[in-house]
Amino acid sequence: MDSNFFIMLKGYRGRLFDFKSDSDVSCLKEKYRFFDDGLLVIEDGKIVASGDYSQVINNLNQEIDIESFGECFILPGFIDAHVHSAQTQAIASYGNQLLDWLEAISFQTSANLNNLNLLWNTPAFFSGNC
Q: What is the mean pLDDT of residues 5-29?
A: 78
Q: How confident is the model at residue 71, as a pLDDT?
A: 92
SS3 of the chain? CCCCCCCCEEEEEEEEEEECCCCCCCCHHHCEEEEEEEEEEEECCEEEEEEEHHHHHHHCCCCEEEEEEEEEEECCCCCCCCCCHHHHHHCCCCCCCHHHHHHHHHHHHHHHHHCHHHHHHHHHHHHCCC
Q: How confident is the model at residue 1, as a pLDDT?
A: 44
Give pLDDT tens digits for 36-68.
999 999 999 899 999 999 999 999 988 899 999
**pLDDT of 21 higher than 80:** no
Q: Enumerate domains of the chain plus CATH numbers.
A: 10-74 (2.30.40.10), 85-127 (no CATH)
Q: Report the share of the chain in percent with pLDDT over 70.
A: 58
Q: Report the share of the chain in percent with pLDDT over 90.
A: 35
Q: At 114, is the pLDDT very low, low, confident or very high (cuts 50, 70, 90)? A: confident
Q: At 23, is the pLDDT very low, low, confident or very high (cuts 50, 70, 90)? A: low
Give pLDDT tens digits for 94-106.
666 767 777 777 6
Q: How confident is the model at residue 97, as a pLDDT?
A: 72
Q: At 14, is the pLDDT very low, low, confident or very high (cuts 50, 70, 90)? A: very high
